[in-house]
Amino acid sequence: MSILKVARMGHPVLRTKARTLDKSELKNPVIQQFIDSMIDTMYEYSGVGLAAPQVHEGLRVFVAMLDPDGRGEGDAVTFINPEILPIGDATVEGWEGCLSIPEVRGRVPRAQHIKVSALDRHGKRFELELKDFPARVVQHETDHLDGVLFLDRMKSFESLTYLEEYSRYHTRQGDEDEADE
């Protein structure tokens, strides 16, 4: 496959709501190749998630690594036309980064426990119940499909930091559960 160019903050594609894919479109080899290229691109940039708008395609598709430790281990999961339902009222604030906003981190509140329903790359519907880091990744990537960046979700910009300062001042405090999404 190929490595795709990642859109950076300021590009209009990141602020546009992506269109829903029809199940029949998933049979198109171009769409399947695009999904493979998204996975390759996510791995290339050491991300744990990547949404189609981040690679200049306004489609409701993202790929993500869902291991609880956020180490990017295991297989990438493809989500098409995802729908999220929070389970309970608990929210947690955690560090997030984004391949479209390189070298920047911030603390973002997210639902701690969610149920996500989506189509896989072959058009089969699936549901996952996720908590903590995997739930954060899915919420972050779904936001991209709606034209929302993690900065929009921050309660304040006091925690906003460059990666170098994050590594220097914040990872020692047990805040290392983050990754580029």
**AA letter at 29:** P
What φ, ψ does residue 154 adopt, rounded to 5°?
Answer: -70, 140
Q: Which of 73, 96, 141, 178 is catalytic?
A: 141
**Residue 62 near residue 52 (C-beta atoms within 8 A):** yes
Burial annotation 13-52 (CB, 10 A radius, 16+ → b, else e)? bbeeebeebeeeebeeeebeebbbbbbbbbeeeebbbbbb
Active site residue 129: no
What φ, ψ does residue 38 adopt, rounded to 5°?
Answer: -65, -45
**AA letter at 181:** E
Closest CA to 38 of 14, 67, 65, 2: 2
At residue 152, the 3 state secondary structure works out as helix
How many Å separate Cα 110 from the centre of its chain? 13
- Catalytic residue list: 141
